[in-house]
Amino acid sequence: MKRILVIGAALLLGLSAQAQQALFGGPQAESPVINPDGTVTFRYQAPKAVRVTVSGDFLPTQKMEFEMNGQKVSYEAPGVGVFREGPNGVWEYTTPNPVPPELYTYTFSVDGTSVIDPNNVYVNRDVASLTSVLLVPQEGARSDLYAIHRVPHGTVSKVWYPSATAGFDRRLTVYTPAGYEDNPKAKYPVLYVLHGIGGDEDAWVTQGRATQILDNLIARGQAKPMIVVFTNGNISEEAAPLENSTGYVRPTMSLPQTMEGTFETAFPEIVKFIDSRYRTVAKKQGRAICGLSMGGFHTLYITLNNPDLFNYSGMFSAAIGTGSEQTAAHKEIYENVDGKLATYFSKKPALLWIGIGSTDFLIQSNNDFRKKLDAAGYPYTYMETDGGHIWRNWRIYLSEFVPLLFK
């Protein structure tokens, strides 16, 4: 009787027919499972399948190549683990070694078709691809910053600002730290955080776990309470896919106006909006900016073209040297870099921070840029990590950059 009650109550109160179906369906495979020895087991039920594999960034990487500007560029792709079929058509794969604490993403391939793990509801979208998410937490490990703890939480808001440049309202994600509403006279410094190509105002929050990182660093006393603004660098778009009036389209990386100067030119209107809407420290000493890949490229040029705007700038795997400046609509944004660097450094910014992975396909252009800084004697902070052009590194860079701000 009790069981029936539980089923009766649990089952159908508030459920869509889809969920009912999932519930009434046969037993599902448990996946992923973090085993007591630290290895991870993945399972997939597919009685008729011939080959099932998992691809994820917890496996040893494999070298791949592509062509950029006529040159071969190598990069690391995630490794592959091969499943074995067990009873009842449930395929299984266990990692050979314990998986270190980290936030990972993975997909399965079933006879060549890429699918997410149907038993794992934690999913990230990256451009037009969905991936399953695996968080291996451990107290004291860096990935503990990406987990939610019982600490005071900031408020995370989706806010629309009027863009005179675009001609329509555009969406931002805004983090206000715990205590913001309880201290109505306090003013807060602002960090602007920029995504890479194909990303949007959601990317740093979903894939980057940025609001967890902020909550945890602030609660530990390792970062100042600050407002954080996650912009959308695709100036031709209003917002992330499906939050957009263009409606139901497949997300793409080939958006117009992403690396040709329009966004950089329009950036001060975002700063102006934030200073009018929030209680900010509305001066250079209270502003920081950082970004990954395309966002690192944006960060550099927004900083150089507005040398009085930001006291702290962070370039994470910055996409400099790709040649996009040469065909820019706003060429002036990318011209006279040496002169702009001289002006910028003459105003003594508190921090220029550069981070990149040792196998990132952009390391050469970043090394060239650092050589230029070194030759002129300009100060900067540099961090080189293992791995390539991946979110793991960007979460690390944000975790390292944020504690240095507004001291």
Interacting residues with a copy of itself between 314 and 333 (CB under 8 A): 319, 322-324, 327
Position 292 contacts a copy of itself (CB under 8 A): yes
Position 81 contacts a copy of itself (CB under 8 A): no
Instruction: Report the chain's C-alpha Rg in angstroms.
Output: 23
CA distance 302 to 259: 12
Please say whether the beta carbons of 120 and 78 come within 8 A.
Answer: no
CA distance 355 to 350: 17
Site for a copy of itself (CB under 8 A): which residue of 27, 36, 63, 67? 67
Q: Which stretch binds a copy of itself (CB under 8 A): 74-82, 184-192, 335-343, 345-353?
A: 74-82
Site for a copy of itself (CB under 8 A): which residue of 82, 86, 169, 371? 169
- Cβ closer to a copy of itself: 350 or 363? 363
- Cβ closer to a copy of itself: 47 or 87? 47
Using CB under 8 A, count the residues that bind a copy of itself: 127
Site for a copy of itself (CB under 8 A): which residue of 38, 127, 269, 403? 127
CA within 13 Å, CB half, 278: 28
Nearest distance from residue 117's CB to a copy of itself, in Å? 10
Interacting residues with a copy of itself between 295 and 314 (CB under 8 A): 295, 297
- Cβ closer to a copy of itself: 4 or 375? 4
Position 355 contacts a copy of itself (CB under 8 A): no
Q: Which stretch binds a copy of itself (CB under 8 A): 120-128, 337-345, 364-372, 378-386?
A: 120-128
Site for a copy of itself (CB under 8 A): which residue of 27, 112, 140, 221? 112
Q: What token pair was written down for 173?
A: 């994600």
Site for a copy of itself (CB under 8 A): which residue of 171, 330, 340, 395? 171
Nearest distance from residue 280's CB to a copy of itself, in Å? 14
289-to-62, 73, 246, 362 alpha-carbon distances in Å:
33, 29, 29, 20
- Cβ closer to a copy of itself: 212 or 311? 212
CA distance 244 to 201: 12
Type of residue numbered 244? N
Nearest distance from residue 292's CB to a copy of itself, in Å? 6
Q: Which stretch binds a copy of itself (CB under 8 A): 141-149, 262-270, 306-314, 395-403?
A: 141-149
Q: Which stretch binds a copy of itself (CB under 8 A): 19-27, 346-354, 366-374, 377-385?
A: 19-27
Nearest distance from residue 376's CB to a copy of itself, in Å? 26
Position 382 contacts a copy of itself (CB under 8 A): no
Give the contact letters, 22-61, x = binds to a copy of itself (CB under 8 A), - = no: xxxxx-------x---------xxxxxxx----x-x---x
Give the contact letters, 248-287, x = binds to a copy of itself (CB under 8 A), - = no: x-xx-xx----x-----------------x----------
Site for a copy of itself (CB under 8 A): which residue of 43, 195, 287, 330? 195
What's the per-residue H, E or C state across the chain? Answer: CHHHHHHHHHHHCCCCHHHHHHHHCCCCCCCCEECCCCCEEEEEECCCCCCEEEEECCCCCEEEEEEECCEEEEEEECEEEECEECHHHEEEEECCCCCCCEEEEEEEEECCEEECCCCCCCEEEECCEEEEEEEECCCCCHHHHHCCCCCCCCEEEEEEEEECCCCEEEEEEEEECCCCCCCCCCCECEEEEECCCCCCCCHHHHCCCHHHHHHHHHHCCCCCCCEEEECCCCCCCCCCCCCCCCCCCCCCCCCCCCCCCHHHHHHHHHHHHHHHHCCECCCHHHEEEEEECHHHHHHHHHHHHCCCCCCEEEEECCCCCCCHHHHCCCHHHCCCHHHHHHHHHHCCCCEEEEEEECCCCCHHHHHHHHHHHHHHCCCCEEEEECCCCCHHHHHHHHHHHHHHCCC
| In the block, residue with structure tokens 């952009």 | 362
Position 229 contacts a copy of itself (CB under 8 A): no
- Cβ closer to a copy of itself: 87 or 377? 87
- Cβ closer to a copy of itself: 76 or 223? 76
Position 156 contacts a copy of itself (CB under 8 A): yes
Position 20 contacts a copy of itself (CB under 8 A): yes
